[in-house]
Amino acid sequence: MDRRPEPAGGAGTTGAAAPAIPGAVRGLLDELWSAGHAAWVVGGSLRDAFLGRTPADWDLATDARPERMLEILRDAVYENRFGTVAVRRDGETYEITTFRSDHDYADFRRPHRVEFGDSVEVDLGRRDFTVNAMAWGAPAPSREGPAEPRLVDPHGGRDDLQRRAIRAVGDPARRFDEDALRILRAIRLAAALGFEIEPATWSAIVDRAALVQHLSAERVAAELDRILALPRPSDGLRLLENSGVLECVAPELAAQRGVAQNKVAGEDLWAHTMRTVDAIQADRPVVRLAALLHDLGKPATAADGHFYGHDRVGAEMARAFLDRLRYPKAVTDRVVGLVRQHMFTYDDGWSDAAVRRFIGKVGRPALDELFDLREADNVGSGLAPEAAGLAELRRRVTEQLAADVAIDRGDLAVDGDDLIADLGLAPGPTIGRLLDELLERVVADPALNDRPTLLLVARTLVEDET
Ligand code: ATP
Ligand code: MG
């Protein structure tokens, strides 16, 4: 440990104001203290409270073992073998974890074995970064009565919060060897808080970037998703790139560095990707993922300043990337579709039928996402968001959708069963071909979309064929 624990006493004696802790959390601390136990607010929630940010969740730590917590806290559920108990209070769930101590690490992943401990200092010592390794609360009451709540900050987390620095607890190289996820956590945390990673921690990250290859795909994807959800994802993505981590988790993205393109003067393809991702709203994770991957095919197709077919190649590469990181198939399909379609061109010579064909090709559900991606792509290219007629195409698409005209087979006034019943046809591929032919005509001329007309057209088509 770098420093001795803060002396006991009121919060004032530590030089730190008490963090803003909600009533329900304070209530849980009180319940544990009254039952004779130590109870502390720890981890990211305390860090966020000191920063005046609303924590995603409140983490509490105690010397009470899980079975004991189940006895003393009502509505408590033992969650997993890591000693965490979940308690419901005021409609929220709070996680309380028994102090942990020693554990074995193997494969640069999470510990194989966790032991319960009795000391908050030991518990803090196994946490990742100094700003995450503070505790506010009190030890078990002594014979003289309960202790005054106070801050325990053995690793200088308060100072690092002040300096806005991410610093590993203890020897950074060892801590990253123990668990390579900490490399991604450092980068994500620095980007989320707008902190710097201090030099020794940074240089250990750079030395050990390749360790992230030992992590499970799901854990890597979870951190990537969190970076993509930041107000400005490029803050985190650039740290991944500068540290060499990107090269290990996404070499196909790292390959964009230094690829020239005639967009923003002096900027390479990677810079274009960063601008494009940042230009998508934070609450559209799938489109941000598509923005990250939209030009994946460019390095492989670059020739004479052009990138012919990069949308097709890029869609295949995006699928491989997302499968590798085990994204759910539904997400992968949407992202791949967007990458595949992102190169559409529009001109004002398009007929309404052409607009309807465009809608049918893209698919109704993907339209909004595709327009958002293309707007961001424009921004990433130093253009106005609605450049290249995008605003007009968007307006015309909205107009067609509002007119409730047929776009796909399901919109036709007849279906396969009608054709079989009315024309006396046998079920089979002919029916599908007929429906496609009818759809093509209806897309060209929506006035044809009523039952008698379509049956008549279908009959003529069948007669022509025979
Ligand atoms: P956030 O919840 O905002 O992502 P957090 O720091 O609370 O940030 P959690 O994953 O909720 O992150 O973890 C809670 C705490 O557990 C951390 O603050 C840290 O003290 C500790 N911790 C989490 N993951 C690790 C790890 N891989 N190695 C060491 N300590 C960790
Ligand atoms: Mg947390």
Residue nearest to atom 28 of ligand 1 (CA): 128
- Round to whole Å and give the CA distance between 333 and 373: 15
Alpha carbon of 374 to ligand 1 centroid (Å): 36
pLDDT at 7: 39
Q: What's the pLDDT tens digit per position in 372-424?
A: 999 999 999 999 999 989 999 999 999 999 999 999 999 999 999 999 999 99
Mean pLDDT within 235-260? 97
Residue nearest to atom 17 of ligand 1 (CA): 43
- Round to whole Å and give the CA distance between 32 and 392: 63
Mean pLDDT within 190-202? 98
233 in Cβ contact with 278 (< 8 Å): yes
Alpha carbon of 42 to ligand 1 centroid (Å): 10
Q: What's the pLDDT tens digit per position in 253-291?
A: 999 999 998 888 889 999 999 999 999 999 999 999 999
Q: What percent of the chain has pLDDT over 90?
A: 83
Alpha carbon of 56 to ligand 2 centroid (Å): 6
- Round to whole Å and give the CA distance between 285 and 225: 8
Residue 113: pLDDT band (50, 70, 90) is low
Pocket probe mutation, ligand 1, options 82, 128, 174, 223, max atoms within 8 Å of Cβ: 128
- Round to whole Å and give the CA distance between 384 and 430: 47
pLDDT at 418: 94
Token representation of residue 266:
């002096």
Q: Which of 465, 382, 452 is nearest to 418 (CA)?
A: 452
Q: Which residue type is seen at 212?
A: V
pLDDT at 108: 55
Q: What's the pLDDT tens digit per position in 312-370?
A: 999 999 999 999 999 999 999 999 999 999 999 999 999 999 999 999 999 999 999 99
Residue nearest to atom 25 of ligand 1 (CA): 128
Residue 104: pLDDT band (50, 70, 90) is low
- Round to whole Å and give the CA distance between 121 and 360: 62
Q: What's the pLDDT tens digit per position in 46-81?
A: 999 999 999 989 999 999 999 999 999 999 999 876
- Does residue 107 register a pLDDT over 90? no
pLDDT at 263: 82
pLDDT at 112: 57
Bridge partner residues of 41 (DSSP)? 60, 136
pLDDT at 5: 39
Q: What is the model's pTM?
A: 0.90
Pocket probe mutation, ligand 1, options 59, 80, 109, 175, max atoms within 8 Å of Cβ: 59
| 292 contacts: CB under 8 Å, gap ≥ 6 | 228, 233, 237, 253, 273, 277
Kindly compute the dihedral angle of the four CA atoms of residues 276, 281, 282, 283, in this order, to the nearest 10 degrees: -140
Pocket of ligand 1 (CB under 6 A): 43-44, 56, 59, 127-128, 132-133, 179, 181-182, 185
Atom of ligand 1 nearest to the CA of 48: 3
**Own/partner long-range contacts of 276-283 (Cβ < 8 Å, ≥24 apart):** 276/376, 276/377, 276/379, 276/380, 277/228, 277/233, 277/234, 277/237, 277/376, 278/232, 278/233, 278/234, 279/375, 279/376, 279/379, 279/380, 279/385, 280/372, 280/373, 280/376, 281/372, 282/229, 282/230, 282/231
Q: What is the mean pLDDT of the chain?
A: 92
Q: Which of 133, 138, 101, 134 is nearest to 116 (CA)?
A: 101
| 196 contacts: CB under 8 Å, gap ≥ 6 | 164, 165, 166, 190
Residue 9: pLDDT band (50, 70, 90) is very low
